[in-house]
Structure 1
């Protein structure tokens, strides 16, 4: 199957592109930062080698400034991820350009899960998300992207992860185009709305949904009956189940990702069947930042259950 991904550019009143199409690769780990720090750094290094040189050019500093990601900047990021021993939360944000939407981007939200701030909530995770422009997939092809996703996944002790077409933006600008975003999401059910900070703070070992590439690890996979049980339930044309090891698998729903345009076809059977398999363990989104209410987010989260 060839790709059928839409080109999406949502504009602000001033004529700037504030939301566009892209892809995300996200993982949720029910582990404290100190236990995954080296692995997160290893995953970041694999992403960095796979994208164009210097595609990541800026990072968010501790005091809120955006600083150049030069040699000193990379040394600072490595210290933040691998070497800094103190803190209850490790937040890293790397971007292509401060004012560019939908390019290469990294978000990491690591947590000290036995910190009193988080120990009251047994559903916190450490979350990691990589973003790509859609052009990366179109240039290199889906097999290359899938191989990269697998390579990164092997670094990480995830419970759940996924790769998907998505709407990409900066956190502070969703509000000005929220109605346009909702209209796009109602039409294209395969587009993800990444919310790493809010989701990773509450998702625990649940699943976020059925995606083009869906990764399952412990304890989620065991709760689903293991690899063979999942294979039996999604034994459909085009679906591949690939083990990473004895406890982790990748379910690939097709060669190319799908935006799932409801004006052209209903939700394909593989997406519906994987969603059904995951149903007992699906996470219901909560509104922890504007512009969406919890009810709107939860209806969006159930979009494939039709």
Structure 2
């Protein structure tokens, strides 16, 4: 147990850790394509400044095989963008999950349709992962500060930060994560690549830190309306300008534990307020068994 987070370890037959607890930050952006490359590089720069410039050392090649970078991560990413790449994935390890990961998923917002449906479901996805051990060594302050710095940089429609499960081969562990997610409802199950094709300008769930942009903030009545409706002790609602807000559920992230009766009532209150604007990942999983996914997505609503 680290703070209010469980200690999770699933070990593969190879001996490597394939599932564990961690922290993540994710933002979804619906903006002009021309701005995204430069903004993404600035976001990566902020992340590397926080974790160390030599932390990210691996990326998949053109055929999907992981390769060790022979240049710094920033230089490598700039070259990939010049080659026309629309997906950037950088990690600190290829044996097991590792501690750090950066992912950028580009999408074609101008296309009338995509393989999952209408273009209004699309959004650029930016995600950043950390080990839960940072809570012990640094406290939550630097993590929260980085999330706020990224929010200031990115013209987001939505975003979030908090505890999450990190898995090496997500599809192989999906059902196990959904079961763990029902027990520890404050833990996210990241799936940024697929979410980029389904979230659009809506919200992908309730988290410790919830960044709300347009059009959802306007639809819910604005920052003051949110502040009036969210009355649970410890919930804070901050204005991030005229068209964006941050809702934080408690001073520290909390995974909860339904086995111990810790169902996170503040999260339930926020979920009820935001329910009309919560999306489902089911559209990105049309040929899979989605009952467990839907149960997990509605864990704060039932």
Question: Please, what TM-score do these two structures have when normalized by structure 1?
Answer: 0.89
Residue number in structure 2 paired with 1:204: 200
Residue number in structure 2 paired with 1:142: 140
Residue number in structure 2 paired with 1:152: 150
Between the aligned partners of 2:112 and 2:79, the Cα distance in structure 1 is: 24
Query: How far does residue 11 in structure 1 lie from its aligned partner after superposition?
Result: 1.9
Alpha-carbon spacing, 1:194–1:279, altered in 2? closer, same or farther (3 Å): same
Residue number in structure 1 paired with 2:59: 59
Between the aligned partners of 1:165 and 1:97, the Cα distance in structure 2 is: 20
Query: How far does residue 60 in structure 1 lie from its aligned partner after superposition?
Result: 2.0
Alpha-carbon spacing, 1:285–1:249, altered in 2? closer, same or farther (3 Å): same
State the SS of the aligned residue for 2:214. Answer: coil
- Structure 1 ranges of 4+ moved more than 4 A: 289-292
Alpha-carbon spacing, 1:60–1:17, altered in 2? closer, same or farther (3 Å): same
Among candidates 240, 259, 277, match of residue 273 of structure 2: 277
Between the aligned partners of 1:292 and 1:267, the Cα distance in structure 2 is: 28
Between the aligned partners of 1:266 and 1:173, the Cα distance in structure 2 is: 26
Residue number in structure 1 paired with 2:209: 213
Residue number in structure 1 paired with 2:248: 252
Query: How far does residue 53 in structure 1 lie from its aligned partner after superposition?
Result: 4.1
Residue number in structure 1 paired with 2:183: 187
Alpha-carbon spacing, 1:179–1:298, altered in 2? closer, same or farther (3 Å): closer
Alpha-carbon spacing, 1:110–1:178, altered in 2? closer, same or farther (3 Å): closer
What do residues 40-94 of structure 1 show as CA deviations (whole Å, max 9, x unaligned)? 211111011001341111122333232333436532312334x45x5xx710000
Count of residue pairs the alignment pairs up: 299
Residue number in structure 2 paired with 1:125: 123
State the SS of the aligned residue for 2:102. Answer: strand
Q: Give structure 1 stretches of 5+ with no counterpart.
A: none
RMSD: 2.3
Between the aligned partners of 1:114 and 1:234, the Cα distance in structure 2 is: 36
Residue number in structure 1 paired with 2:229: 233
Query: How far does residue 178 in structure 1 lie from its aligned partner after superposition?
Result: 4.4
State the SS of the aligned residue for 1:107. Answer: strand
Between the aligned partners of 2:291 and 2:280, the Cα distance in structure 1 is: 10
Question: Please, what TM-score do these two structures have when normalized by structure 2?
Answer: 0.91
Asked if 1:286 corresponds to 2:282, the answer is yes
State the SS of the aligned residue for 1:215. Answer: strand
Per mean C-alpha deviation after superposition, the further-off stretch among 99-108 and 6-15 is 6-15
Partners of 2:27 and 2:159 within 8 A in 1: yes
Residue number in structure 1 paired with 2:48: 48
Alpha-carbon spacing, 1:183–1:206, altered in 2? closer, same or farther (3 Å): same
Partners of 1:25 and 1:131 within 8 A in 2: yes
Q: Give structure 2 stretches of 5+ with no counterpart.
A: none
Between the aligned partners of 1:132 and 1:183, the Cα distance in structure 2 is: 22
State the SS of the aligned residue for 1:235. Answer: coil
Asked if 1:107 corresponds to 2:89, the answer is no
Query: How far does residue 29 in structure 1 lie from its aligned partner after superposition?
Result: 1.0
Between the aligned partners of 2:290 and 2:253, the Cα distance in structure 1 is: 27
Query: How far does residue 102 in structure 1 lie from its aligned partner after superposition?
Result: 4.3
Residue number in structure 2 paired with 1:93: 89
Between the aligned partners of 2:105 and 2:215, the Cα distance in structure 1 is: 21
Partners of 2:26 and 2:127 within 8 A in 1: yes
Residue number in structure 2 paired with 1:38: 38
